[in-house]
Structure 1
Amino acid sequence: MPILGPLATAGLLAGALICLFLVGAMPTALAVCIALFGALLWLMPTRAFWLGACFFGFGYAALHVASVQTSWLPSALEGKPLPVQGRVLDLPVQEDGRRSFLFLVAEDAETPGLRGKVIRLGWYGKPGESLPDVQAGSRWSFTVKLKRPHGLRNPGSLDAERNAFANRVVATGVVVGKRKRERIDAGAGINAMRDSLGLAIADIDHPAAKFIRALAVGDTRAIEDADWRILRANGLTHLIAISGSHVSMAAFLGLALGGLLWRLCPALGLLMPRKVAAPLCGALVAIGYTLLAGGEVPTVRTLLMMWCVVGALLLRRRLGLVTALSAAVIALVVVDPLNLLRPGFWLSFMGVAWLAWCLQGVKQNFVKEMLSAQGIATLGLLPLCVLFFGQTSWVAPLANIIAVPLWGLVIVPLSIAGVALNAISPPLAHASWWMAAGLFDMAWPVFVRMAQWPGAQIDIAEATPWAVALASIGALWLLMPRGVPLRLLSFGLWMPLIAPAVPRAEPDGLLVTFIDVGQGLSVLVQTRTHTMLYDAGPKGQVAYGRDEKSTAGFDAGEKVVVPALHALGVKSLNLMMLSHGDADHAGGAAAVDAAFHPNDIQAPHGTPLPHSAECQRGNRWTWDQVHFEVLAPVPNMPYAGNASSCVLKIISKYGSVLLTGDVEAAGEAGMIAHDRAALRADVVSMPHHGSNTSSTYPFVRAVAARYVVASSGYRNLFKHPRERVWRRWIDAGTQPVNTPASGAVGFAFTREGIEMRDERSRRRRVWDPMEGDGVNGGSGLSYGQRGSPIPPYPR
């Protein structure tokens, strides 16, 4: 059936990708016409069926894009108390003082604009307040405050808005008010079963129980960040979350039980041959396990391929691996074309495709097949790993050789057996889980040690799509059969990926990047041969949304700043300067220090932060003909928080920058009195994120900047930047930029002048809910472009 073959699959994927990444939204009527035309051409017996699949993929994806975009929370409802009723969808994250979960709003909810929509909620308790447990599948009534999905936008960072779009999350927010919180029904459904099984596994009280929960029912809530770092360094994250191999193992158990049943009851052979019945039993068991695992893309891919094979058996048709894989791809795209936005989709299918292409028909012993499979998977998937995660692991093949047979052939079967036994005999289930945890714990120290090997995890600068495409061609060329000429030349195609061209300042120029860290500050400063970081972003209880607090464990240094520096090609830091000790400026310093080990760390006198030198007025140095001078605080000033902020002036041949930390009105007045002319700069960070306590009229006039950058959180609790401050800079002739609307903002000081570039304009996405909306300054324009209008005040 060519309409389900590789050519049709390639056409379908091409059409959907063109829509999602190049074209975006379009009128619904036009999308329907394109999809119908494509479907007819696809199903007709012509040679152009692949072109029909392409048109269908384009129009069908456009329909789904329009559906999600029209479902976004209206801007007028952001930040307003709204009553909602509905059901908890996923496995809730339950920590002390916090609950986080997906919530499906009921069709009869009081707020019409949210009926039948998925929102993500956080429920935060006050100190000493005990929050009730939120069970998966339970129904609740809440009062909430919502905002559109919004994520930080930086080079190399994970795209939270893309994830929300793929999951059709139309709003995020928090539960508010004490009186209007009511549980209507207890948990029910498959996720409630997963929740209870995860808690049952946790009851075995074993250190490795958290991993058995992940392997058995896809419950990764108990796995900590340190554990994930070890798994990433060993290239094992694809195994700890339920993958296709786990579903295959469950299907094999079902196949064995079905074959045994048919042997014990020969009369069943009159209804269906054993050779057909046994695979059918295995596929039925795989359905149940896929549902129990949460229905992630790799598990659904394996399930669909199994059912393609079973269907071929029932229809007495031959079906090759390539056709089964193609049919599974088509099915997943038809079910939801937004699956193409998930890294798991590409890693899962491409991994199977590489193995099928390289190993099909090869007969060798088990050890050689294992080694070949690991080498092929590592090499073939390396371009995608760099594209999605910006890193790879050279120890991954070795770690997988240990983990795949141990986890896949021993620990996973024991975990699945425990799930099955739990309904019959909980003590036997606990014994099975205990054995699995014990075996896991025996091997875990090996992976911990391997993660500590030098260079175990290799971070690579941000890759372009063209570099990924060239590297994929290089992998294909390199993995060609023996005898193909010039295979070693394929390594040349890898160079743009593994050694990309990264931004570099001119010999006497300067690069300055304001990293989008939310309600905080972190600025990367690069001369030709030196690099410094001014502030390291927030950590802990920092406000990110109106009436919303971040989780206590969030560390922008680890989650945002370090990945952004790696993506920009930074290998080391000559200096990290911390303006002062507040958590929104210095919270991420420990993570940055651990990742880059700066040569020096400067901080104000008296600050409790670890530092090697004091930041004080009069400090001066020169890097690559670029001059640095600290304008505040005065030497030996008693530490006073914001008032002690280090203010740094940077002067290059082509322009100057003023970094102000959280300096307030008194500090601004002191600098004006000491040396007003020294404040003049082309680019300035808006003091204290644009609060009313800073950016006085004399200071704004003294700086006389071309650009001012407010590093703030989207709809933050403090309402930064304040409207009067925003207008004050505009009235002075300064172009204001707000990081929630622009993402990371970069300034290049070159002989051609000052060039500004913001991340949201550089990478337009159909899943960006701020584009063209005007919310929080989101005009969708690059504010540095000539002729750009003054951005509106962030609402």
Structure 2
Amino acid sequence: MSHVARTPPRSSPFAVSIALALLAGVVTCLWLPVLAPWGLSLVSLLAGVLAWAKPVQVASSAAMLRPWLLRHFGVFLCGLGLAGLHGAHALAVQLPAAFEKHEAVVHGVIVDLPQHDVRRTRFLFRVDADGSTLPVLRGRTLRLAWYDEERWERAPRPGAITANPPRPRHALKAGERWSLPVRLRAPRGLRNPGAADAEKYAVARRLAATGYVYAPGMARRLTVGTGIEAWREAMSARIAASVTAPSARFVQALALGDTRALDDRDWSVLRANGLTHLIAISGFHVGLVAGFFALLARGVWWLWPALARRWPATIAAALAAVLGALAYAAVAGFALPTLRTVLMIAVVAAAQAWRRPASAAQALALAAIAVILCDPLSVLGAGFWLSFLGVAWLLWCLPQGGHAVRQFLSAQRVATLGLLPPSAMLFGQASLAGPVANLIAVPWWSLVVVPLALIGLLLESLHAGAGAWAWRGAAWCFDLCWPLFERLEASGLALWWLPEARWFALPLALLGAFWLLLPRGTPGKWLALLLWLPLLWPDRRLPVHGEAELLAIDVGQGLSVLVRTRGHALLYDMGPAVHDGFDAGERAVVPALHALGVRRIDRAVISHGDNDHAGGFDAVRAEFPVDATQAPEGVGLPVATTACRAGQRWTWDGVEFEFLHPPPHFPYLANESSCVLRIRSAHGSVLLTGDIGEVIERDLARLYPHALRSDVVLVAHHGSAGSSDAAFVDATRPHFALVSSGHGNRFGHPKPEVLQRWRHAGARTFDTASGGALRLQLRAGGLRLETRRGAQPRWWDAARRP
């Protein structure tokens, strides 16, 4: 009997397992608290490439599996080193601390569609290779703002503004080259539960600095707009001029990815219905365009069969699909979701051209490898995970063939169950109306509205005015379903905000989704919902009876403090809402309250009427019901309030609250009238002081010589030199002194001598500017304080960099 020796199969260097190993290496690097030195990352990359490139044969024996494991470990090292090098470069291009707030004149081009707000215009600006008076800015990308003229009238800078009248900021257009006088700082953001990480965004986009045009009169336009961005802006303007219906803004978004005209109400409706992935040009739309170009090429080859002698029809269709997808990605401004789809299509086309057809799973793995190798920091974006996970779920769950309607319904079911866990973890919300809304919007917008919008673009590019009818048709079709989505959003049942979950909630929920999507007949499928509980109903870690928790929210140069007991929530101040469009209530306070699972505010205390304390109140009360509002008498706020007076006290869940200032009939004197609130529990006490100054502090120390002693004090007036009187500090003698201030604020808060005064009294000082949100627990185990940056350290965190 003869035996035929079998050659062990080779392990493909681009298998699905390879893609997972590469992704694991990148994710490990991105989650490290400290970035490895670039030399170590380079060694890791080179070693990983050598192990990846070495051929491996796999047999059933354990000995033959060792090379296979070595290759995958090498791929892991490759991802680790590549992400480390990209991360080091992203940090290296950022503005050094020595040049913070420096003024420079930069020459360059506007590389995106400028965002025109009420009082400012924001835009991305790429500096020319020799276009800056600061050499560190040459060739870098900046995020700039151009403010209205009255900003400079309120805060003049001697000698900075010339006699020339400022140029209107709305004259800025994409593709234009300008010479701009700017004042810059390294990218820096707020750090709060539930809020976006601006520093992570800056690293992913390789932004060198943020800043503003400080002298509009000195700005000069060098050339008019050119290139694809200028064409996009011109087409967007033609859509607005051609379509009189309000839905023209949605045609602009669906045709060009231009979402500048969408307001907060529009985004609220889209989020509530789970449609944000469709409103700008999505990967699905790119795939539709690629398929159309492929069919078009097939049709041409069918009409002229002789073309097949030079180019096979399959290769021509694949190449046409790539070119069509690339053109559509350019129309979208080369947004990341479109580029990922282009790479996927290019992988499939390459396999067709080389006559090595790849399975759908292999094509997805190749696309993931291509995306990671091109830009490993794209893994920081939510779109990366949602796009690849969505396709992976569909490939695994959907059978081939079958009725088209049944396939579509199955795809919606798979997408809803499979993407709910990552969406909830990434955005802290779930759309209960999403499955229904997507059943309508996906086919209608993608197969009717978007094609009409694109036909309008094509015709308008050939002849001015020729595409108006198609754009009007797209707007009319869009208006047929939009009122339904508005009603769903207004019902209050569409959007479900989820508290911030622990790290293990996502893998458990993904396992639950996997279990639910197993074939019919799998036992105990509904028990899989139990695995979703840590994500959908996480432990809110509420204090028990007699305990309290305090969160000093990072609102920049302002103040907002959340105090929670077992069943109540008090919000002390709401941060600033300034003229340039920044609203801390919307950007910081509301996301933090959602992330902590707050459903209503039992009492809102506005310490006094200054904007940096009361400005965000409108955004907060628009999102949460507020049972009672208190403020100093005579504050003059446009909302109904009851006066906070010394001696008022109440008890919640075993925790006592008492106002110490202002006394009855005290005239309103802005900072000096701040409501001073003392909180006492069985496990510690807190004193919230607002913006009172030394005079009021000395008066409190005289009135309450013993009762003023507190374990935690919120340092008055952000640590200004006019507060933290020595007698007051001596009377309180806290363990912790907390400061709420903005990083690099123009007042220099907190003053070093003030911090030293508190430290000399035995207090440990913490500042939101350096630590992010400050979370303090008054519990049976004692006082515990953690900073947001310390609890979740990241290597791109500006506070960790020298």
Question: What CA distance in whole angstroms lies between the structure 1 residues aligned with 2:713 and 2:84?
Answer: 41
Shift of 1:54: 1.0
Contact 1:38 1:53 in 2 (8 A): yes
> Aligned to 1:587, which of 615, 619, 627?
615
Given the alignment of the two structures, is residue 42 of structure 1 paired with residue 52 of structure 2, yes or no? yes
The residue aligned with 2:137 is 114
RMSD of Structure 2 on Structure 1 (CA):
1.8
CA contact 2:256–2:280 (8 Å) conserved in 1:
no
Which whole-Å deviations, capped at 9, do the CAs of 1:264-312 have from their partners, x for residues lacking one? 4444333223343234223211111112212223212221221222222
Q: Partner of 1:381: helix, strand, or coil?
A: helix
| Residue equivalent to 2:162 | none
Counterparts of 1:503 and 1:515 in 2: how far apart (Å)? 18
Within the candidate set 327, 331, 352, 2:391 is matched to: 352
The question of 1:206 aligning with 2:262 is answered: no
Mapped contact 1:3–1:50 kept (Cα < 8 A): no
Which sits farther off after the overlay, 393-402 or 110-119? 110-119
Which amino acid letter does the alignment assign opposite residue 40 of structure 1? L
Q: Give secondary structure in 1 for the equivalent of 2:106.
A: strand
Given the superposition, is the C-alpha separation of residues 203 and 305 from structure 1 closer, same or farther in structure 2, using an over 3 Å criterion? Answer: same
Q: Is the 8 A contact 1:72 1:769 kept in 2?
A: no
1:102 aligns with 2:124: yes
SS of 1:599's equivalent? coil
Quote how far apart the aligned CAs of 1:579 are: 1.0
Matches of 1:308 and 1:360, distance apart in 2? 22
**Deviation, structure 1 residue 169:** 0.9
Q: Could you tell me whether the CA contact under 8 Å between 1:407 and 1:440 is conserved in 2?
A: yes
TM-score, normalising length: structure 1: 0.93
Which residue matches 1:425? 463
> What secondary structure does 1:54 align onto?
helix
Counterpart of 2:268 (choices 220, 226, 229) is 229
Are 2:646 and 2:660, in contact at CA under 8 Å, matched by a contact in 1? yes
Asked if 1:309 corresponds to 2:348, the answer is yes
Q: How does 1:502-541 map to 2 (within 5 A)?
A: 502-541=540-579
CA contact (8 A) 1:603 1:611 kept: no
Letter in 1 for 2:37: P
CA-CA distance at 1:179 after TM superposition: 5.1
Please give the alpha-carbon distance, in whole angstroms, between the structure 1 residues aligned to 2:237 and 2:601.
44
Aligned to 2:36: 26
1:490-535 C-alpha deviation (Å, 9 max, x unpaired): 1121111111112222321211110111111111111222221111
Equivalent residue number for residue 9 of structure 1:
19
Aligned to 2:674: 645
Q: By how many angstroms is 1:192 displaced?
A: 1.9
CA offsets per residue over residues 587-631 of structure 1, 9 Å max, x none? 222222232212212122222332353211111111122111101
Match of 1:283 in 2: 322
Q: Which amino acid aligns with 1:292?
A: V
The 3-state SS of whatever aligns with 1:747 is strand
Give the conservation status (yes or no) of the 8 Å contact 1:150–1:161.
Answer: yes
Which position in structure 2 is the counterpart of 1:250?
Answer: 289
**2:362 partner amino acid:** T
- Equivalent residues in 2 for 1:140-219, closer than 5 Å: 140-178=178-216, 180-204=218-242, 205-219=244-258
Which one of 63, 72, 75 corresponds to residue 53 of structure 1? 75
Q: Which moved more, 1:411-420 or 1:596-605?
A: 596-605
Please state if 1:663 is matched with 2:702: no
Displacement after TM superposition at 1:196 (Å): 1.8
Q: 1:711 aligns with which of 736, 740, 745?
A: 740
Give the direction of change, closer, same or farther, for the CA distance of 1:97–1:602 in structure 2 (3 Å limit). closer
Letter in 2 for 1:321: A
- Does 2:448 match 1:410? yes
In the other structure, the counterpart of 1:369 is 407
Corresponding residue of 1:390 = 428
- 1:249–1:413: 8 Å Cα contact kept in structure 2? no
SS, match of residue 629 in structure 2:
strand
Amino acid at match of 1:201: I
1:135 aligned to which of 154, 164, 173 = 173
CA separation in 2, counterparts of 1:73 and 1:283? 38
Letter aligned with residue 660 of structure 2: L
Paired with 2:301 and 2:455, the residues of 1 have a C-alpha distance of 21
Structure 2 residue aligned with 1:675: 704
Alignment-mate amino acid for residue 137 of structure 2: L
Indicate the larger mover: 331-340 or 42-51: 42-51
Conserved? CA contact 1:121–1:172, under 8 Å: yes
AA aligned opposite 2:517:
L
- 1:736-747 → structure 2 map (5 Å cutoff): 736-747=765-776
Q: What 5-or-longer segments of structure 1 have no aligned partner?
A: 542-550, 774-795
Match for 1:436 among 465, 474, 486? 474
- Measured in 2, the distance between the counterparts of 1:80 and 1:299 equals 37
Q: What displacement does 1:23 show?
A: 5.9
Q: Are 1:700 and 2:729 matched, yes or no?
A: yes
Give 5+ residue unaligned stretches, structure 2.
1-10, 57-67, 154-165
Q: Output the amino acid matched with 1:119.
A: L
In the alignment, what sits opposite 2:418?
A: 380
Task: Report the Cα distance in structure 2 between the residues aligned to 1:661 and 1:611, rounded to whole angstroms.
Answer: 20
Count of paired positions? 762
- Matched residue, 1:605: 633
Contact 1:578 1:646 in 2 (8 A): yes
Deviation per residue, 1:682-713 (Å, 9 max, x gap)? 21112121223322222222222222221111
Contact kept? 1:24, 1:62, Cα under 8 Å? no
Structure 1 residue 390 displacement after superposition: 0.4
In 2, Cα distance between equivalents of 1:296 and 1:349: 16
User: Secondary structure at the residue paired with 2:126?
Assistant: strand
Identity across matched positions, percent: 44
The residue aligned with 1:793 is none
Distance 1:642 1:439 in 2: 55
In structure 1, how many angstroms separate the alpha carbons of the residues matched to 2:105 and 2:360? 51
8 Å contact 1:35–1:58 — kept in the other structure?
yes
* More divergent stretch after superposition (687-696 vs 475-484): 687-696
Alpha-carbon distance between aligned partners in 2 of 1:649 and 1:299, rounded to the nearest angstrom: 54
Distance 1:312 1:704 in 2: 72
Query: 1:746·1:758 contact (CA, 8 Å) conserved in 2?
Result: yes
Q: Separation in 2 of the partners of 1:555 and 1:96?
A: 13
In the alignment, structure 1 residue 331 sits paired with structure 2 residue 370: yes
Shift of the alpha carbon at 1:96?
4.5
The answer to whether residue 759 in structure 2 is matched with residue 720 in structure 1 is no
Question: Quick one: distance in 2 between partners of 1:177 and 1:724?
Answer: 34
